[in-house]
Amino acid sequence: MNNNLKNEGNKSVILFDGLCNFCNAIVNFIIRHDKDKTFLFSPIQASEARAFLRERDIVFMNLNTVYLVDDKKVYQKSSAVFKVFQKLPYPWKLVSLLRIFPLFITDFFYKIIANYRYRLFGKLDHVVKPDEKTGTVS
């Protein structure tokens, strides 16, 4: 994992809520299945992550949004989720087929999960960053 987001090269960067148990579990899932090491990760709470977004003309609004920066394009919410799954190996890439539904529908469900994630899965009392050696968040 490279904490220096400026040197992301051809990797896709996922910016996530580092306090969210659900988000951290999803990041660990992606790390386990990302055999090609396609992704870099950073909690959105990190100043580097916010600067990274500002450089791409994205103003950070709240922790309810996951961001994926891929090929200089920024994806948010459900479109970010589908793009991540599209880059994972089979069978996980099949999740990306859900993008056939209109964005307003998939973002509606995304927002429901985002709004209730702390109540359903809990919240950490400190921000978690991916471990350089193991590649996982804990």
Let me know if residue 79 belongs to a domain.
yes
Let me know if residue 136 belongs to a domain.
no
Let me know if residue 29 belongs to a domain.
yes
pLDDT less than 70: residues of the chain: 1-9, 60-61, 130-138
Residue 55 confidence (pLDDT): 87
Let me know if residue 128 belongs to a domain.
no
Let me know if residue 137 belongs to a domain.
no
Residue 2 confidence (pLDDT): 41
Residue 135 confidence (pLDDT): 52
User: Residue 96 belongs to what domain range?
Assistant: 5-121
Residue 68 confidence (pLDDT): 93
Which DSSP symbol is given to 89? P
Residue 51 confidence (pLDDT): 87
CB 101 within 8 A of CB 72: no
| Structural domain total, the chain | 1
Let me know if residue 138 belongs to a domain.
no
* CB-neighbour burial class of residue 130 (10 A; exposed 0-12, middle 13-18, buried 19+): buried
How does 11-35 read in b/e, with b if 16+ C-beta sit within 10 Å? Answer: bbbbbbbbbbbbbbebbbebbeebe
Let me know if residue 135 belongs to a domain.
no
Q: What is the pTM of this model?
A: 0.86
Q: What is the CATH number of the domain that holds 95?
A: 3.40.30
Residue 8 confidence (pLDDT): 59
CA separation for the pair 53, 45 (Å, rounded): 12
Let me know if residue 52 belongs to a domain.
yes
Residue 1 confidence (pLDDT): 39
